Amino acid sequence: MKLGRHARPQRIAVIAFSDLAQDSRVTRTIQALSDAGHQILAIGFGDAPREASVFVRLPRPARGWPNRIGMALRHAPAAVLPELASILHDLAATNRAARRALCDLQPDIVHANDWPTLPAALAAKATCGAAVVYDSHEFATEEHAHRRQWRLLMQSHVGVIEARSLGRVDRVITVSYGIAQALAERYRLTVVPIVIRNVPRYEPQPFRAMGKPRHLLFHGVLKDYRGNEAIVDALAKLPGYVLTLRGDATPTYLAKLDARIRGNGV
């Protein structure tokens, strides 16, 4: 969709704590906004998206135990002292750099991807009046709820940040109708979030008759509780099928998944 005759191109800051050029949802967002005639100010990790007229590369968090300990110290207090959540959130260098970048850029609109970017986006709203669109890629308060440590140390912090932010943003969008309804109910939103699904561009393909073996494809991040284990287990009961798992994963998870594949003899 292009801008109307009298519409003014907007300076839109797209922020995500991910490798922007490798994040499919973020790249589609940037492409769509650029195609509509807007100026893109990109803030995140990795390489600059080609459509961005301005790119601010954020410092990456430390890896391994230093990062885990820092996150625990910043996030755990929210379970007993919710009012500390916003203050402690900004102790992370990445979060401070994001806030600084957005306030310096003074965009018309901030497209904030996932809950960690919300405080920085709302700082821009307070500083220069930027409108804020919150793009929730997950139902954040349950994203890692299968892990006891995450529930104890992180869950309350995530909930506090969202609870204090969603009433102040201008729009909320998300990836599915289930998450949209869950967000509306949890935070008593008067407007149900808009759903924009994660789907590839449509490309017409010629008919291709299925042969054997039949090929199954999982495409996405490979990690716990995404159903990969169930797929592997089911494959043992599906003779004549071949499964391809395509996506990024940690070495630890890959080793665990490989052991399950071998254990099922598939």
pLDDT score recorded for residue 193? 98
Q: How far apart are CA 184 and CA 163, in angstroms?
A: 11
Query: Where is pLDDT greater, at 224 or 1?
Result: 224
How deeply is 90 buried, as exposed, middle or buried, from its count of CB atoms within 10 A (0-12, 13-18, 19+)?
A: middle
The percentage of residues in the chain with a pLDDT greater than 90, rounded to a whole number, is: 70
What average pLDDT does this structure show over 14-42?
Answer: 96
pLDDT of 45 reads 98
Distance CA 219, CA 198 (A): 12
**pTM of the predicted protein model:** 0.85
**Residue 57 C-alpha from the chain's centroid:** 17
The pairing of beta strand 52-57 with beta strand 11-19? unpaired
| Element (DSSP H or E) covering residue 231 | helix 228-235
User: Is 141 within 8 Å of 160 (Cβ atoms)?
Assistant: no
Distance CA 45, CA 98 (A): 11
Three-class SS state of 133: strand
Residue 223 pLDDT: 84
The end-to-end CA distance of the chain, in Å, is: 46
* pLDDT winner (highest mean) among 189-193, 203-207, 232-236: 189-193
Strand, coil or helix: what is 244?
strand
Residues 6+ apart with CB under 8 A from 149: none
Whole-number pLDDT of residue 186: 97
- The length of the chain in residues reads 266
